[in-house]
Amino acid sequence: MNRLLSLESSCLLVVDIQEKFVSVIDEYERVVAKSKIMIQAAGMLGVPVIVSEQYPKGLGQTVSELSEVYPEKTQIHDKTAFGCLGDVGLTEQIAALGKKQIVVVGIETHVCVNQTVHQLLNADYQVHLIEDALGSRSSENRDIGIAKMRASGAVSSCVEMALFEWMGDAKHPRFKDVQALIK
């Protein structure tokens, strides 16, 4: 499979960017801002968005900065398993989409994101880590989580890299709209 992202092969998975994490995640503002760009661009480009929330009864809902920009038909999955594929509904939704490239943003990098990515890799998905949209309580834990996922075969990426790979050409009809998100 091509290691560059394609619109036809991708979906975006937003992992657990919830209210109770606001005050404890290192560089939280960056994680939210970069995740918001990814969600908005996915909506503009027709990339399906899937959202997980870890035990929302205790950790709250997805932060409003993100939930207010979800594209139509975005499904939110409550979970208690740390890895997203521990949720049957989420696993079935990913499979039903028929996309083999899973683009991942979220928190915490070394816990829920790490376990999710390894589950996806074990299920033969190609995983793209949007590293500037990943966070943990400490930068050390974030870096260790990213290193482990890369070593296991996840593809390292960032917001701008993903957006330009999705469009592929400055002649893409949504190029100016997407480019405006990163200016």
**Superfamily of 7-182 according to CATH:** Isochorismatase-like (3.40.50.850)
The pLDDT-based confidence of 21 (bands split at 50, 70, 90) is confident
Rounded Cα distance between 84 and 87, Å, is 6
The pLDDT-based confidence of 23 (bands split at 50, 70, 90) is confident
Q: Tell me: the pLDDT tens digits for 139-167?
A: 999 999 999 999 999 999 999 999 999 99
**Of residues 26, 18, 1, 5, the one with CA closest to residue 104:** 5
The one catalytic residue among 11, 16, 84, 132:
16
For residue 45, the model assigns a pLDDT of 98
The one catalytic residue among 11, 34, 36, 79:
79
Average model confidence (pLDDT) for the chain?
Answer: 96
112 as an active site residue: the answer is: yes
Rounded Cα distance between 88 and 167, Å, is 31
The answer on pLDDT for 1 being more than 80 is no
Rounded Cα distance between 131 and 159, Å, is 8
- 108 or 22: which leads in pLDDT: 108
Q: Where are the domains of the chain?
A: 7-182
Contacts of 57 (CB under 8 A, 6+ apart): none
Phi then psi dihedrals of residue 9, to 5 deg: -105, -5
Rounded Cα distance between 54 and 90, Å, is 12
The answer on pLDDT for 100 being more than 80 is yes
Q: Tell me: the pLDDT tens digits for 47-70?
A: 999 999 999 999 999 999 999 999
| CA atoms 175, 180, 181, 183: torsion sign | positive
The one catalytic residue among 34, 36, 112, 132:
112
DSSP strand pairing (49-54 vs 10-15):
parallel
Residues constituting the chain: 183
26 as an active site residue: the answer is: no
Q: Under a CB-based contact definition with an 8 Å cutoff, are residues 156 and 150 in contact? A: yes
Rounded Cα distance between 159 and 36, Å, is 10
Q: What is the pTM of this model?
A: 0.97
Rounded Cα distance between 155 and 117, Å, is 11
Rounded Cα distance between 147 and 38, Å, is 22
